[in-house]
């Protein structure tokens, strides 16, 4: 397991605050209320370790298959339905949404290999990630990857807690299935917009792993 580069600053700040607060607390109360100092030490250490774990990149064997769409993120499938995309396709698409809790791995991975033909950031609200309106009203970053005649839109969506979306793609860039394309800090969701009629391989409420779980099979 390694730590994502997006976490270096957050982990450093959290560690510094942890050390300063505990040193001050032990200095002020160490002689009279030592038990309170130890309780605070344990709780604050747990918080620091949680922040470290949030930025983890676990070692895993990625699924590579040209005929399949792979999960772009860890989390739970919360939407499988037809929708009308007004941003790029301007027609009906099959939407699969994955909700990412703060406990999930937050690296986002390319669901297929191909060329980035669209990449756009949108300012917006911070509705809870499971709100249906979050797909179109929240802060988000949309990218379309094209492979042959197939185009798949991947949408990173900020939520009530997640306030920073990192996206590393550029239009014209060639990407490989399973490689990292972004990161969302502190929980949110990722939407996939697929061609109508695509065979879906997951079910509602299924827990998926980014870069591993097969979301759909291309016809």
Give the confidence band of 171 by pLDDT, cuts at 50, 70, 90: very high
**pLDDT tens per residue across span 106-158:** 899 999 999 999 999 988 665 655 555 556 667 889 999 999 999 999 999 98
Same domain, 147 and 171: yes
Residue 97 bears catalytic tag: no
Q: Which tokens is 46 given?
A: 């747990």
Same domain, 25 and 96: no
Same domain, 52 and 122: no
DSSP letter at 213? S
Same domain, 39 and 93: no
CA dist., res. 114 & res. 172, Å (int): 10
Same domain, 87 and 122: yes
Write out the residue range of the structural domain in which residue 32 sits.
2-57
Domain membership of residue 62 (yes or no) is: no
Same domain, 104 and 208: yes
Domain membership of residue 63 (yes or no) is: no
Give the confidence band of 83 by pLDDT, cuts at 50, 70, 90: very high
**pLDDT tens per residue across span 206-216:** 999 999 999 99
Same domain, 89 and 186: yes
Same domain, 52 and 110: no
Domain membership of residue 116 (yes or no) is: yes
Instruction: Tell me the residue ranges of DSSP E strands in the chain.
Output: 2-3, 56-57, 68-70, 75-84, 92-100, 107-109, 114-122, 140-147, 150-157, 164-167, 174-175, 180-185, 188-194, 199-200, 207-208, 214-217
Same domain, 179 and 91: yes
Look at residue 187 and tell me whether its pLDDT is greater than 90: no
Query: Among 32, 57, 82, where does a domain finish?
Result: 57
Same domain, 143 and 175: yes
Same domain, 106 and 191: yes
Cβ distance 167 to 181 under 8 Å?
yes
Cβ distance 65 to 201 under 8 Å?
no
CATH of the domain at 75: 2.70.70
Q: Residues 53, 101, 188, 219: which is the catalytic one?
A: 188
pLDDT of 30 reads 75
Same domain, 75 and 183: yes
């Amino acid at each position: 397991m390694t730590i994502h580069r997006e976490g270096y600053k957050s982990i450093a700040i959290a560690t510094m605050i942890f050390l300063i607060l505990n040193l001050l607390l032990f200095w002020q109360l160490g002689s009279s209320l030592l038990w309170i100092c130890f309780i605070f030490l344990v709780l604050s250490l747990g918080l620091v370790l949680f922040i470290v774990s949030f930025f983890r990149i676990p070692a895993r064997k990625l699924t590579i298959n040209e005929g399949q769409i792979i999960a772009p993120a860890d989390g739970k499938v919360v939407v499988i339905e037809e929708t009308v995309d007004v941003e790029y396709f301007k027609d009906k698409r099959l939407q699969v949404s994955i909700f990412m809790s703060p406990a999930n791995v937050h690296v986002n991975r390319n669901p297929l290999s191909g060329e980035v033909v669209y990449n756009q950031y949108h300012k917006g609200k911070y509705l809870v990630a499971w709100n249906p309106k979050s797909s179109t009203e929240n802060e988000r970053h949309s990218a379309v990857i094209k492979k042959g005649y197939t185009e798949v839109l991947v949408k990173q969506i900020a939520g009530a807690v997640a306030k920073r979306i990192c996206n590393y793609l550029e239009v014209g860039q060639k990407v490989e299935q399973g490689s990292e394309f972004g990161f969302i800090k502190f929980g949110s969701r990722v939407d996939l917009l697929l061609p109508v009629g695509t065979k879906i391989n997951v079910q509602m409420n299924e827990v998926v792993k980014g870069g591993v779980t097969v979301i759909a099979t291309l016809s």
